[in-house]
Amino acid sequence: MSETPVSKIQLRNVEKRFRSARGDQQIALSRLDLDIKAGEFVCLVGPSGCGKTTLINLMAGFEKPTSGSVLIDGEPVTAPNPDHIMIFQDYGLYPWRTVLGNVLFGLQARGVPAAQAREKALAALEMVGLSQSIDKHPHELSGGMKQRASIARALAVEPSVLFMDEPFAALDAFTRLHLQDELLRIWTETKPTVVFVTHDLDEAIALGQRVVLMAPQPGRIQKILEVKLPHPRERTEQEFATFRKRLFTEFHLVHQQAAAVEYQI
Amino acid sequence: MRSWLENYLVPLLTVAAFVLIWQVAARRYPPEQFPAPSDVVLAIKELSDNGVLWTNIGISLARFAAAYLMAVVAGIPLGLFLGRFTRCHRAIDPLIQVLRPISPIAWFPLAVLWFGIGNAPAVFIIFLASFYPVLLTTISSVRGVPPVYLKVSTNFGAGAFLTFVRVIVPAAFPGIMVGLHIAVGTGWIHLVAGEMLGAQSGLGFMIVDARNFLRTDQVMAGMLLVGLLGLAIYKAMKTFEKAIGRRWGVAA
């Protein structure tokens, strides 16, 4: 078994290389270690090209590492798993299905009996506040409601891990803040492990118990910041500002490094 | 009020103007060479009265329906298969690309040789004309299914069969509808050609037959009816599409 049994997700020496269109190797992630505890809320932030999306795809099983190991519950991740659900920025809702139909999809895929599936789907929709819109089709919903529906679809199958790849990036600021609070409420109620990718530093500090700051060229972890503030967090408080400042300072450093690398070449 | 004007009155006026210019222009030529709209209307009445018209329309529609249905029944499953299995598609694509640009009419000599004179060559030609649009749009619709739909399906543990039936087919459906639509157009266009060449009945034959008797008014009557029926089929298709679109939850 793994040396740290408390780790829900364990990455050891993970490296990911791509071959670019021109044929040269690019290192998307370089020798990366990370441990995430069960029930923890971790945010991955960083500038574009730092490999944060690659990293979440590796954990979710959509991609395989070139070397190193990705373990969840001590088992190597080889493929996507219904116990670890990914939530996408563009929702991935099926336009030909109603909201309820979309939430039912995951349960049908698992062969849950119809009556029981309906019950679970309705409960999940209730949790995200979409009980009034179950018969609507996705094109009738706002962006925020679509993301609620896709979160409900994930919650319905009661996954132990939620992977969220910039889920609120396409939403307007007001909706985004509101959904952040909603997500925290849901997380507090159901306590899945959450890995949340974002490029918004404020979002990372508002949500994460830990914020993993990543740096590009090659993609790596620059700094892990523990945000020791209780949820829900008051975004205007002094302590929040302190963490915000620390993260911004680090982020600035990443940018300077990246710029230096770029201009030296 | 404005929409009514734009939707009905303006097009109607355009048609009226067209008919008027046609009528005036036709006066300058002998009717055997360039019949006037009034001659064409009389020809339609004559053909309708002696029953020739209705028999031929019935035969043409039946041939078209048979050929089109065969094209759909063959094209959609094959397209779904080739769209899903990239390797098979890569293997067979060059063959499709060579056969497709050959006009269905070019198949006519072989069609008559193989099937003789009658329904079969015409049906074969309409089939060819409808088959490729159905096949190619189905393939590209399946290949164009957004990757995120498949990722979601895999993530939730849906098997290959469930993914195919519940995700790929519905996701490809709007694109397939476009192909069905195009195929109605190409199929109907080739109906006349198919019937002119190898049949003893139908609207295409009616046109050729009229030409043999120098009945130019009946030739034009046939042409006009082909156009009007094409329009009617197109409209019916649109209505069907809208109903389906509403059911499918895509904005109609």
How many angstroms separate the CA atoms of A170 and B51, rounded?
A: 64
- b/e map A224-247, b = 16+ CB within 10 Å: ebebebeeebeeeeeebeebbebb
Residue of chain B whose Cα is closest to the Cα of A86: B155
Query: Which member of A82, A92, A137 has the closest CB to residue B148?
Result: A92
For position A5, what pLDDT does the model report?
Answer: 54
Chain A nearest-CA residue for B173: A96
Q: Which residues contact A194 (CB under 8 A, 6 or more apart)?
A: A40, A41, A42, A161, A162, A164, A183, A187
Distance (Å) from the alpha carbon of B14 to chain A's nearest alpha carbon: 38
Contacts of B250 in chain A (CB under 8 A): 95-96, 137, 139
- Cα distance from B175 to chain A (closest Cα, Å)? 13
| Cβ–Cβ < 8 Å for B175, B140 | yes
CA distances from A195 to A84, A209, A232, B36 (A): 10, 11, 18, 76
Please answer yes or no on whether B162 and A79 come within 8 Å at the CB atom: no
Q: Which residue has 């962006």 as its token pair?
A: A143
- At residue B249 the predicted structure's pLDDT band, cuts being 50, 70 and 90, is low
Question: B249 and A98 in contact by Cβ < 8 A?
Answer: yes
Q: Is the pLDDT of residue B252 over 50?
A: no
B chain contacts of residue A161, beta-carbon cutoff 8 Å: none
Six token digits for residue A153? 């679809």
In chain B, which residue's Cα lies nearest the Cα of A84?
A: B155
In three state form, how does the secondary structure of A82-110 look?
A: CCEEEECCCCCCCCCCCHHHHHHHHHHHC
Report whether B149 contacts A92 (CB < 8 A): yes
**To 5 degrees, how large is the angle CA A190–CA A193–CA A199?**
115
Lowest mean pLDDT among A227-241, B25-39, B48-62, B199-213: A227-241
B172: closest chain A residue by CA = A96
Single-letter code of the amino acid located at A28: A
B-chain residues near A86 (CB < 8 A): 151-152, 155
For position A68, what pLDDT does the model report?
A: 87
With CA atoms as reference, the chain A residue closest to B148 would be: A92
* Smallest Cα distance from B89 to chain A, Å: 24
**Are A94 and B154 within 8 A, CB to CB?**
no
Residue-level pLDDT at A115: 92
Q: Residue B1's pLDDT is what?
A: 58
Cβ-based interface (< 8 Å): residues of B facing A: 148-149, 151-159, 162, 166-167, 170-171, 173, 248-251
Chain A hits for B159, CB-CB cut-off 8 Å, are: 109
| Angstroms from A102 CA to nearest CA on chain B | 11
> Could you tell me the two tokens for B61?
């529609």
Task: Report how far Cα B65 is from the mean position of its chain's Cα atoms.
Answer: 10
CA A155/CA A149 separation, integer angstroms: 10
Give the residue from chain A lying closest to B248, CA to CA: A96
B142, pLDDT greater than 70: yes
CB contact under 8 A, B152 and A92: yes
Find chain B residues with C-beta within 8 A of A106's C-beta: 156
Instruction: Name, in order, each residue with C-beta under 8 angstroms of B246's C-beta and a sequence gap of 6 or more.
Output: B252
Residues of chain A with pLDDT under 50: 1-4
Interval B95-118 mean pLDDT: 89
Which residue of chain B has the CA closest to A81?
B155
Contact B251 A139 (CB under 8 A): yes
Partner-chain contact A96 B170, CB within 8 Å = yes
pLDDT value for B239: 86
Determine contact, residues A198/A44, Cβ cutoff 8 Å. yes
pLDDT at B6: 80
Which of B148, B158, B171 is opposite residue A109, by nearest beta carbon? B158
pLDDT of res. A1? 45
Residue A203 tokens, joined: 């979002």
> In sequence order, what DSSP letters do the residues of chain B get, joined into one string?
-HHHIIIIIHHHHHHHHHHHHHHHHHTTS-TTTS--HHHHHHHHHHHHHTTHHHHHHHHHHHHHHHHHHHHHHHHHHHHHHHHH-HHHHHHHHHHHHHHTTS-GGGGHHHHHHHH-SSHHHHHHHHHHHHHHHHHHHHHHHHHTS-HHHHHHHHHTT--HHHHIIIIIHHHHHHHHHHHHHHHHHHHHHHHHHHHHHH-SSSHHHHHHHHHHTT-HHHHHHHHHHHHHHHHHHHHHHHHHHHHHHHHHTS--
Residues of A in contact with B149 (CB under 8 A): 92, 94
Chain B residues with beta carbon closer than 8 angstroms to that of A96: 170-171, 173, 248-250
A31: left (phi over 0), alpha (psi -120 to 50) or beta: left
* CB nearest to B249's CB, from A92, A97, A110: A97
- Among B145, B154, B156, B162, the strongest candidate for a mutation testing the A interface, having the largest count of A CBs within 10 A, is B156
Q: What is the DSSP letter of A166?
A: S
Q: In this model, does residue B83 exceed pLDDT 90? A: yes
Which residues on A lie below 8 Å from B251 (Cβ)?
139
